Structure 1
Amino acid sequence: MTENMLLGILKDGITTGLMVAAPFLIVAVIVGLIISIFQATTQIQEQTLTFVPKLLAIAVIGILTSTWMLHMMTGLTDRIFDTISNITR
């Protein structure tokens, strides 16, 4: 296994991990920003007001993007196994 192969696998793994995590992170940031603006304008400082909407939004995004995430992760696994099989040749 060469150094370039290892770096390629690491780059592919990190890229896939970021792409899978991105929808959750983006939605959490947007919902958190909206809730923070709402709390600042109404001066309501309730902790559950920030937690529950984020949890619901992340659950909805998880349901909507689950097939895409599964394809991304299985694609990474296939590429890793292909690389492993090419090492012995």
Structure 2
Amino acid sequence: MDINELTSMFADAMYLVIAMVAVLVTPGLLLGLLIAVFQAATQVNEQTLSFLPKLIITLLMVLFAGHWLIQQLADLFDRLFMNIPHIIG
């Protein structure tokens, strides 16, 4: 196996990690921005007002996108394990 194939496998793994994190974190970031604008407009500075909704939206994203996330991770590991003989030999 040459360096280009190893680099390609590593790039696929890194892309998957970035995609998985983006799916889980982006809705929380957007909701946090919305709450921050609301807090700035009303001058309500309550810590739990920003924490609890972000926690709930992240857990909902895990619930809704969890199957897709696990499937993508399983596909990556299947490809990696199938390439083990090719890597060694």
- Equivalences, count: 89
Map of 1:19 onto structure 2: 19
- How far 1:53 moved relative to its partner? 0.5
Tell me, in whole angstroms, the C-alpha distance in 1 between the residues paired with 2:21 and 2:29: 12
Deviation readout 1:6-33 (Å, 9 max, x if unpaired): 1011101101111111111211111111
Deviation readout 1:33-88 (Å, 9 max, x if unpaired): 11001101110011111111000000001000010001100011011112212224
Q: CA RMSD in A?
A: 1.2
Q: Does 1:55 align with 2:45?
A: no
* Aligned sequence identity (%): 31
Question: What are the residue-to-residue correspondences of 1:1-89 with 2, within 5 Å?
Answer: 1-89=1-89
Structure 2: runs of 5 or more not aligned: none
TM-score normalised according to structure 1 size: 0.92
TM-score normalised according to structure 2 size: 0.92
